[in-house]
Amino acid sequence: MATAAEATAQNPGPIPGQSSGPAPGQPASASGREVEPVVMGGGRFEILPGTPLPALDGPAGKAYAVRALRDRKMDVFAIVGTAGVPARMDLLSGIRGVEHVSLMRMIEWGMVDWPLDGYKRIVFILENPGGRRLMNSLSDTREQMTEEQITRAVIQPLASALRELSSRAIVHGDIRPTNIFLRDQGTSGVMLGECVSTVTSFGQAPLLLTIERTMAQPSGRGPGTTSDDLYALGVTILLLYLGRNPVRQLDDEAMLQAKLDRGTYPALVGTARLSLNLMEPLRGLLADDPKMRWTLNDLDLWLSGRRLSPKQPQVPRKASRPFEFNGTNYWHCRGLARVFARNPAAAVPVIDNGDLDRWLRRSLSDEARAEAVASAIESAGVAGKGAHFEDRLVARVCIALDPPAPIRYKQKSVMLDGFGTAMADAFMRNEGYQVLGEAIAAQLPMFWVSMQGEFKAEYVPMTQTFEALRTQLERPGSGYGIERLLYELNPMLPCFSATVRNHMVTSASELLAALEQIASRPGRPREPIDRHIAAYLIARYRKLDERLIALTTPGGEVLRRISAMVNILADVQKRYGPANLPNLCNWMIELIGPAVDRFHSRAHRDKLRTDAARIAAEGNLQGLLTLIDDPAAIRKDEIEFTKARREFQLAGREIDKLKREIADKDRIAETSGRQAAAVVSSILGTIALVGVVVYTLLRK
């Protein structure tokens, strides 16, 4: 992803060499066969993989021709998302209803099985602008536009478009000459290109980003504000008026340093001669301080003919003597913070020995900044000087030196509201997400908020969120940890589990449908719920029992884990569907052996297996759960087993007694002889007694 972002920064239009389709006019093929069109949107649109449109490619995917099957007059095309580039999922429902003559409309979006690679891809059906881009590359030279042309054809329509977006709380994030199209080849009307196929400003050129967002990594720039869009509009106006990029000889690093040292307006305009009328909006739009930057209302006032008070560019405070670090002199706090973040090991000694504090107080004469740095040093040591202490220290000092800048920690650079997209990007590339978790655990977001000169109301819920995330991060079981942070910070993100990743799961019903397909394939994992699926479910569906999710943690008691899995999946099926999941049920039957084996009755176990096969054929997970988790049946089995065990014990004791008696033959003989003698004696005694009685009676 980083490579794509870098390429986009240099050339935010079509990215050469990335098209996975054939050349225009050549049919696409898979395994030598022509690829069939892909139908989406309920049969409304037919995407043509064999007809790529490279002129409309974007930073997040390739463009392809589309046939509108129900409205033949509709002129649309498709952007097919690239794997590993997150889209603006949170924006899709809101922007679909936006209709403005100067905004490229998103007609439809959805997931398709893309035949060129066999994976699920997100696809956006967009309005075809009909004309070319105003610039194909920021390194191009084009015909200069006059002040009147820029005002009428660019500023007026784009200001109107931004007002429409702003009224819906939408930030475009990708305003640049390479993303502005002529509406058709024969008119001067323009259309601002799409902004949904990738996270905000992921593909934006650093030239058009504010200083703070330029310092952030592409995936961590955050959603931005309308003020950021106005800044990009100002740079766009300058490029179109000059017909070129005035700093194209500089690389991104040198360009950013020029902005830091001199301010955006002086750095970009330089010695170029501007129209007096355009100079005013450019100064206002390119102000580096957001509080000084023009708003949409200011721009509307200028368009209506009113002249505003000129805004002078703010020059950063410069020290009387430079701070030498690694052989280079630094005159400003912002530049010093940047180099500290890149070399934390070298920064620690100059922080510890007091050199930085003395420079801030004596050379820069900034007592407030010196106190902020002292607070950063003190707070960094609260958690002790264990693992990652030096990284925490330098990160906090950098925040104190340059509060508006991104949070910089271990080579990650993320705006406060960019942690979600940065986390998604890191998981997609399978690198660096633990570092972002460490930054949250170190309470860097909360410290960043505390260092801001102006407190904003939106900081309150954000700090509450980060505090809750820190608690969840520290819990080790399934449903928590770094995976939970991923889904809490990205409410619309698909499930990243390796089991279902290629299915682009965006809902509970889609998750079960994906597991149903996977259940019938060889090579499936042993269990259907892993840490990602557990975290995804609990983050999306608060009604699920967190205690059940925790029981699915690997290494726990097998019977409880499997019962918890069936319980969770049955609950999801009951709430969201699908109603019939025979393959998934059969998958679970292979796992419920311990739940069946806990019954002592062989007949009952056989009956359970027979009933489970029948229920699996019906695809009913709830029925399967009732079968193995029936408290009455379990209690009855325990009672009967206890009774049988007692009877068995009694019988055993009788048998043991008989065995002992049989084993003692002499005692048996003696006992038997005594018993026989007693019987004989009793008989003889009885006979004698009877004889005496008879004799007595006869004499009488």
**Burial class of residue 628 in the structure, from the number of CB atoms within 10 Å of its CB (0-12 exposed, 13-18 middle, 19+ buried):** buried
Of the listed ranges 85-89, 180-184, 483-487, the one predicted with least confidence: 85-89
The residues near 614 (Cβ < 8 Å, ≥ 6 apart) are none
**Per-chain mean pLDDT for the chain:** 87
97: left (phi over 0), alpha (psi -120 to 50) or beta: alpha
Alpha-carbon distances of 158 from 186, 264, 296, rounded to whole Å? 19, 21, 11
Cα atoms found within 13 Å of the Cα of residue 281, Cβ hemisphere only: 31
Average pLDDT over residues 13-29: 39
Of the listed ranges 24-28, 527-531, 571-575, 634-638, the one predicted with least confidence: 24-28
The 10s digit of each residue's pLDDT in 38-60 is: 999 889 999 999 999 999 998 88
The residues near 232 (Cβ < 8 Å, ≥ 6 apart) are 175, 176, 204, 208, 209
Of the listed ranges 356-360, 625-629, 682-686, the one predicted with least confidence: 682-686
What proportion of the chain, given as a percentage, has pLDDT over 90? Answer: 61
Gap between the Cα atoms of 230 and 338, Å rounded: 25
The 10s digit of each residue's pLDDT in 538-586 is: 999 988 887 888 888 887 778 888 889 999 999 999 999 899 999 999 9
DSSP β-bridge partners for residue 637: none
The 10s digit of each residue's pLDDT in 403-427 is: 999 999 999 999 999 999 999 999 9
pLDDT of residue 696: 65
pLDDT band at 692 (very low <50, low <70, confident <90, very high): low
The residues near 461 (Cβ < 8 Å, ≥ 6 apart) are none
Task: Evaluate if residue 2 carries a pLDDT over 50.
Answer: no
Of the listed ranges 269-273, 355-359, 676-680, the one predicted with least confidence: 676-680
pLDDT of residue 14: 34
Gap between the Cα atoms of 588 and 526, Å rounded: 10
pLDDT of residue 16: 29
pLDDT of residue 693: 63
Task: Evaluate if residue 346 carries a pLDDT over 60.
Answer: yes
pLDDT of residue 546: 79
DSSP β-bridge partners for residue 460: none
Helix, strand, coil content of the chain in percent (nearest 5):
55, 10, 35
Closest CA to 519 of 582, 593, 611, 613: 582
The residues near 11 (Cβ < 8 Å, ≥ 6 apart) are 137, 138, 139, 178
Q: Name the strand (E) or helix (H) holding 50.
A: strand 45-52
Cis peptide, bond prior to residue 578, ω within 30 of zero: yes
Three-state DSSP at 113 gives strand
The CA radius of gyration of the chain, in Å to the nearest whole number, is: 38
pLDDT band at 309 (very low <50, low <70, confident <90, very high): confident
pLDDT band at 690 (very low <50, low <70, confident <90, very high): low
Average pLDDT over residues 27-36: 59
pLDDT band at 695 (very low <50, low <70, confident <90, very high): low
Closest CA to 213 of 269, 288, 274, 320: 288
Task: Evaluate if residue 502 carries a pLDDT over 70.
Answer: yes
Closest CA to 92 of 189, 248, 181, 199: 199
Q: What is the pTM of this model?
A: 0.83
**DSSP H helices in 592-664:** 593-597, 602-618, 621-628, 631-663
Three-state DSSP at 404 gives coil
154 neighbors 162 (Cβ within 8 angstroms): no
The 10s digit of each residue's pLDDT in 180-211 is: 999 876 666 899 999 999 999 998 999 999 99
Task: Evaluate if residue 5 carries a pLDDT over 50.
Answer: no
Q: Which residue has the higher pLDDT, 93 or 644?
A: 93
Average pLDDT over residues 499-506: 88
Gap between the Cα atoms of 357 and 397, Å rounded: 11
- Cβ count within 10 A of residue 230: 26
Gap between the Cα atoms of 101 and 443, Å rounded: 45
pLDDT of residue 34: 76
400 neighbors 373 (Cβ within 8 angstroms): yes
Kind of pairing between the strands at 407-409 and 412-414: antiparallel
What proportion of the chain, given as a percentage, has pLDDT over 70? Answer: 90
pLDDT of residue 667: 66
Three-state DSSP at 67 gives strand
pLDDT band at 311 (very low <50, low <70, confident <90, very high): low
Gap between the Cα atoms of 169 and 423, Å rounded: 23
Q: Which two tokens stand for residue 373?
A: 């740095």
pLDDT band at 32 (very low <50, low <70, confident <90, very high): very low
Average pLDDT over residues 247-257: 94
The alpha carbon dihedral of 552, 558, 562, 567 has a sign of negative
Place of tokens 């209803």: 97
pLDDT of residue 21: 42
The alpha carbon dihedral of 686, 691, 697, 700 has a sign of negative
3-state SS of 210-260 is: CHHHHHCCHHHCCCCCHHHHHHHHHHHHHHHHHCCCCCCCCCHHHHHHHHH
Gap between the Cα atoms of 275 and 182, Å rounded: 24
Gap between the Cα atoms of 591 and 585, Å rounded: 10
Q: Which two tokens stand for residue 517?
A: 């397909």
Three-state DSSP at 695 gives helix
